[in-house]
Chain A
Amino acid sequence: MQIKNLDELTSMEIDTLREIGSIGTGNAATALGQLLGREVRITLPEVRIMGYNEAIEWIGGPEAVTAGVLVGMGGQMSGIMLSVQQMGFINLVLESMLSESISDYMELNELRQSALIEVGNIMISTFINALSGLSGISVDLTVPAFTVDMQGAILSVPMAVYGGMSDYLMTIGGNFVCDNKQVPCHLLLSPDIRSLNFLLQKLGVTE
């Protein structure tokens, strides 16, 4: 059965999406670990279907400033994938790759920004490659876009793009742990409804 709204997903379908999230973030964690030269693991993968304002609270409030890397998905599946990077994550990347750290987002010069974009892009591409391999769906990715701004506005991008179809935001993703510390970075996949149906169908969960 094709769903029209996200709240119609069955628990089996959500479990399947969680599995996608687990494999996707697992692969992204391995890629991140190789980039940083450290071991990175994942905690429980999550599938969340949230109201707009609930999603903003979940990410940690609307006004906190973060860096965001966004990649658009096209081809057989459309959607948006975001890497939302908080200061702790940014410094983890900068220390590993450039041996420096910052205390303010204003210090993100071009070189530092491109390091963050690259890390975000690699994590996103790895996630999508895993999804693509698992489902046999071919996905084209756009060049990554980057911004530093209020995280509420960053999160509102997938909301607005799919807002005409749904009152909810779905995120498939997980959290990373490095040196026994939670890494403040969210990796979020928001597919559109049509692609979500297609994905579930390809995976054999929906007729």
Chain B
Amino acid sequence: MNEKLTVGIADMKMAKGSGVLITYALGSCIGLCFQDPALHLGALLHIMLPLNMEPGRKNPLKYADTGIRETLRQMEAKGASRKRITVKIAGGAKMFEVNGGNLGNIGQRNIESVHTILRQEGIRLLAEDVGGKVARTLLFDVVSGQGCIRSYGRQDVLF
């Protein structure tokens, strides 16, 4: 597990043949592990918000809708087939319990948006570890498709 490729916030990276992708400290953000098992091709996407309503759309990877579509497009450009691509997701927590104010629950909205977009795109959701109040660091092995979630004060979750 020493050659890990780090995915930042509003970022996506792909690896083929071998490699572990990692993204740190997902709060209300969601990490999506895409895999085409036949090609040993995987991608890890770290989105922050549910829907892209920004004029200009400079950063598609920041949003669930444009981020998922952009990732699928890049995977298909590498030969992946939409029928084989599967996804596992983690994140969407609510870090602070705030009464009043206009913070809302971005985590929950992210989860719902990711579900909707995946359904629209016909991508199978294999597993998820979402919601709650805990931050998650997500590791993803592109060959085995194994995901691992590290959190503070909680046992590691394999999925």
Contacts and interface: CB of A to CB of B under 8 A. Distances in A.
Interface of A: 52-53, 56, 62-63, 65, 68, 70, 72-74, 78, 80, 105-106, 142-143, 145-154, 156-157, 159-161, 163-165, 167
Contacts of B3: none
23 contacts: A52-B48, A56-B25, A62-B25, A65-B152, A68-B95, A70-B96, A74-B100, A74-B101, A105-B152, A142-B99, A142-B100, A143-B100, A145-B97, A146-B96, A150-B27, A150-B135, A150-B152, A153-B25, A153-B26, A157-B28, A160-B28, A163-B10, A167-B58
B103 A161 contact: yes
Contacts of A153: 25-27, 93, 95, 135
A74 to B, nearest CB: 6
B17 interface: no
Contact of B8 (A53, A105, A165): A53
B49 A157 contact: no
Q: Is the interface of B mostly helix, strand, loop or mixed?
A: loop
Nearest to B99: A143
B137 interface: yes
B81 to A, nearest CB: 32
Contacts of A56: 8-9, 24-25
A145 to B, nearest CB: 4
Contacts of A156: 9, 25, 27-29, 48, 95
Given A53-B8, A62-B25, A63-B137, A157 B96 contact: yes
A67 to B, nearest CB: 11
B103 A63 contact: no
Q: Is the interface of A mostly helix, strand, loop or mixed?
A: mixed
Interface in B87-113: 93, 95-103, 106
B96 A74 contact: no
B25 A147 contact: no
Contacts of A53: 8-9, 11
B25 A63 contact: yes
Interface residues on B, range: 35 or more
A80 B98 CA distance: 11
Contact of A52 (B10, B26, B137): B10
Nearest to A106: B153
Enumerate the 8 nearest inter-chain pairs by beta-carbon distance, A residue then B residue, closest first: A152-B25, A72-B101, A153-B27, A153-B135, A62-B24, A145-B96, A62-B25, A53-B8
A101 to B, nearest CB: 20
A161 B50 CA distance: 11
Contacts of B98: 70, 72, 142-143, 145
Contacts of B58: 167
B25 A74 contact: no
B133 interface: yes
B100 A72 contact: yes
B9 A52 contact: yes
Contacts of B134: 149
Interface string B1-18: 000000011110000000
Contacts of B26: 153
A138 to B, nearest CB: 15
Interface string B116-159: 00000000000000000111010000000000001011000000
Contacts of A160: 27-29, 48-49, 106
Contacts of A105: 152
